Structure 1
Amino acid sequence: MQIRLNDPEAQLAFGARLAALLPSACVLYLEGDLGTGKTTLTRGILRGLGHRGAVRSPTYTLIEPYQVPSGPLYHLDLYRLADPEELEYLGLRDLMGEDARWVIEWPDRGAGMLPAADLRIMIESLDDGRRLTLSGGTMEGCSIVAALIDAENAGAR
């Protein structure tokens, strides 16, 4: 599934719509070049889940935990990760035992140490906005994509 978004506000709004479809335990991979809005999309997801505080990019901390009414969300930015084994020092294995939502930027840098993605979102810069390509990696992820397609089709009528 592909979606075109014109500006950061549209990316925030899409994130909020996506949040309504996310189960309390799921893994999202966000992929794309620097500056494509991975953290902006995450901010929209968190707003959709009820978070009202600041949303920081975890570029230097690698992980930012958030507690929302429906449970925890962990936002990881692995851009600065030198070796996937570094995730072990963050206590990632212990955190993975919880029911939580995981939003992971630059997942390729954590290859072999991360859980499989339920939903993968590739974000590309366009001259007039962004193109998001969504693909389900599990049955839950495919259900999310199907629900988004249904919502898009209903909105087109």
Structure 2
Amino acid sequence: MMFDSNYDLKDESETLRLAESMASHLFPGMNLYLKGELGSGKTTFVRGVLRGLGYQDKVKSPTYTLVEPYSLEKFTIYHFDLYRFKDETEWDDAGFREYFNNTSICLVEWPEKAGHILPKPDISIELSHTPHGRHLHLISYTSIGTECLKAII
């Protein structure tokens, strides 16, 4: 049951607001994949999700560490940035596969760099630059992803 929606966002604050509104509709076990060129707003979107879940500290892109965990009251969010990801052995050696479970939410930037080793996403978030801001295309691939997207319309 695929569902998609599109948004034109004029600035960073609109990206944060949309991500914050999505946060309350996320559940442990969900995987969200963020796609888009450098500077398109992937980390900004993650920051908005975390703010929507009550996290107030700094949110940084895990470009060099590959993953940044955020322990929240009800679950842990794992924020991956696979831009510098080299190969599948790196994934297995780091034990990243274990982070994709029913008690956490995984937000993955640059999922295409991991090829086929990632589980299927519940929601794909595609960001792109436009002359007047950025465009956001959300696609669900599971029923829980569809419920989430329909709730923020």
> SS at 2:108's partner residue?
strand
Displacement after TM superposition at 1:98 (Å): 5.0
Residue segments in structure 1 that go unaligned for 5+ positions in a row: 150-157
Identity percentage of aligned residues: 38
Larger RCO (CA within 8 A; separation ≥ 6) = 2
Residues in 2 aligned to 1:45 and 1:122: alpha-carbon distance in whole angstroms: 15
Alignment TM-score, normalising by the size of structure 1 = 0.90
Count of residue pairs the alignment pairs up: 149
Residue segments in structure 2 that go unaligned for 5+ positions in a row: none
Partner of 2:28: 24
2:29/2:101 contact within 8 Å kept: no
Runs of 4+ aligned residues of structure 1 deviating over 4 Å after TM superposition are none
Displacement after TM superposition at 1:147 (Å): 1.6
Partner of 1:91: 95
Q: Does the alignment pair 1:77 with 2:49?
A: no
Cα separation, partners in 2 of 1:140 and 1:97, compared to 1, 3 Å: closer
CA RMSD of aligned residues (A): 1.1
Alignment TM-score, normalising by the size of structure 2 = 0.93
Q: Does the alignment pair 1:5 with 2:9?
A: yes
Displacement after TM superposition at 1:85 (Å): 3.0
Partner of 2:133: 129
Q: 1:51 aligns with which of 52, 55, 70?
A: 55
The one-letter code of the counterpart of 1:44 is G
1:78-121 Cα shifts (integer Å, max 9, x gaps):
00011133111221122224510110000011122211100001
